[in-house]
Amino acid sequence: MAIPQLDPQVERVLEDYAALPAVGSVPVEESREAYVRVSKEQFGPVDEVHSVEEIDAGGVRARVYRPVETDEPSPALVYFHGGGWVIGDLDTHDGIARAFAKRTPCVVVSVDYRRAPEHRFPAPLEDAWAATAWVSEHAEQLKLDPMRIGVGGDSAGGTLAAVVARRARDYGIAIALQLLLYPVTNHAFDTPSYSYFSEGYGLTRAGMAWFWEQYLGENGNGEDPDAAPAKLTDLRRLPRAIVVTAECDVLRDEAEAYAQRLFLATVETEGYRYDGMVHGFLRMAGKVERSNAALDEIADSIRAALEKGYSSL
């Protein structure tokens, strides 16, 4: 494999990362505080939306972003932030939520699920599922089109989105889209991308192992499809999918393998690899021009998918 050429702006962002303490080397709260600070610095100016309000979504705190004021039923994206199930929150992903709300446009419901290690698997997943089911059940109250609701997330949030999409299929809840942004899909570290990009590209192999340990605990079951979507054997009739990967990311190969399996299971699937990018590149929109452009491109794909609406086929 040829050595990948990192985007020069990404290289500068990675230099800033190098000054941060590695996850697992400091208390969790310190890592969370650093993640909030760095996320805001890297994303830069955020998109303006019509309104932002916090709600109780079936016992789970959520933040609702509305791009415009309208009485017409709107498409929506229930969104789960990344951060290894441990360090992300509504604030670290405020910029991404605003970007998708404004640029799609759609209502974004960003979910503040419980985090590990205080609340290990399956607590984050149960919150994600409860919030999604509540949004679907209360679509009319929220002025949403129940046939044009998608789920999405990045990194660990992409894992939650994939599992929620499968549960929606199994329980008959209409989900029109699963948006998986450089998702974690497998509790394994044996892909070529885990070897090529194990260090020096932001998210490391050791860091990902630490996140998994916080999520599952020492004796957790990484073979459970509710934890690792790649372990699911039947992918048929899942919601249409958009899967985005970064070339220089330890998670690249497992995410692309999952996208390929979706496609082979006849799920309508779009896969996009962003060359020269690293894990979490969408949060770098203030410092990396390609990241900001990618948000526009992904928003276009979200719009088209939600316009198609839910299909049970």
Per residue of the chain (313 residues), what is the pLDDT tens digit? Answer: 677 899 999 999 999 887 788 888 999 999 999 999 999 999 999 999 999 999 999 999 999 999 999 999 999 999 999 999 999 999 999 999 999 999 999 999 999 999 999 999 999 999 999 999 999 999 999 999 999 999 999 999 999 999 999 999 999 999 999 999 999 999 999 999 999 999 999 999 999 999 999 999 987 889 999 999 999 999 999 999 999 999 999 999 999 999 999 999 999 999 999 999 999 999 999 999 999 999 999 999 999 999 999 987 6
pLDDT value of position 162: 98
Strand partners, 269: 241
What is the spatial distance between Cα 160 and Cα 128, in angstroms, rounded to a whole number? 7
Q: What is the pLDDT of residues 3-45, one digit of tens each?
A: 789 999 999 999 988 778 888 899 999 999 999 999 999 999 9
Q: pLDDT value at position 219?
A: 78
Residue 220 confidence (pLDDT): 81
Token couple for 253: 């190969």
Domain 8-308: CATH architecture, name and number where available:
3-Layer(aba) Sandwich (3.40)
With b for 16 or more beta-carbon neighbours within 10 A and e for fewer, the 188-199 pattern comes to eeebebbebbbe
For the chain, the structural domain boundaries read 8-308
Q: How far apart are CA 313 and CA 243, in angstroms?
A: 20
Catalytic residue among 94, 249, 253, 291: 249
pLDDT on residue 17: 82
| Active-site residue (options: 81, 93, 187, 279) | 279
Query: Which residue among the candidates 110, 155, 193, 291 is catalytic per the annotation?
Result: 155
DSSP 8-state assignment for residue 266:
T
Report d(CA 9, CA 15) in Å as an integer: 10
Local structure of 130: helix, strand or coil: helix
155 in catalytic set: yes
pTM: 0.97
249 is catalytic: yes
User: Taken in order 262, 267, 272, 277, is the CA torsion positive or negative?
Assistant: negative
Q: Are 201 and 173 in contact (CB under 8 A)?
A: no
Per the annotation, the verdict on 279 as an active-site residue is yes
Place of tokens 């919150």: 127
Query: How far apart (Å, rounded) are the C-alpha atoms in residues 210 and 219?
Result: 13
130 HSE (CA, 13 A, CB side): 16
* 3-class state of residue 297 by DSSP: helix
Q: What are the structure tokens assigned to 237, written together? A: 């009739």
